[in-house]
């Protein structure tokens, strides 16, 4: 734990930011494209990006 990168905690480096690209499709900044029929990734129970494994964040909130 002593090498924990505390300077990175709270910054948007370990998250994958998703934005709704086209209707029903989401695009993450790791290059993933994911189709959700309804709701946001979080509303669908997705807390982590299935491609890069980082914490999933929706753009703009």
Residue with tokens 């910054």: 11
Kind of pairing between the strands at 55-58 and 25-28:
unpaired
* Distance, CA of 43 to CA of 7 (rounded, Å): 30
Piece of 7-15, 20-28, 35-43 that binds Zn ion (CB under 5 A):
20-28
* Distance, CA of 9 to CA of 35 (rounded, Å): 29
Please tell me whether residue 51 binds Zn ion under the rule CB under 5 A. Answer: yes
The mark string for 23-42 relative to Zn ion (x by CB under 5 A, - otherwise) is -----x-x-x----------
Closer CB to Zn ion, 36 or 52, in the complex: 52
- Rule CB under 5 A: which residues touch Zn ion? 16, 28, 30, 32, 49, 51-52
């Amino acid at each position: 734990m002593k090498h924990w990168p505390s300077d990175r905690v709270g910054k948007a480096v370990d998250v994958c930011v998703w934005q709704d690209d086209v209707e029903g499709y989401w695009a993450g900044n790791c290059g993933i494209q994911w189709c959700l029929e309804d709701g946001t990734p979080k509303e669908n129970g997705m807390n982590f990006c299935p491609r890069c494994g980082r914490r999933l964040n929706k753009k703009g909130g």
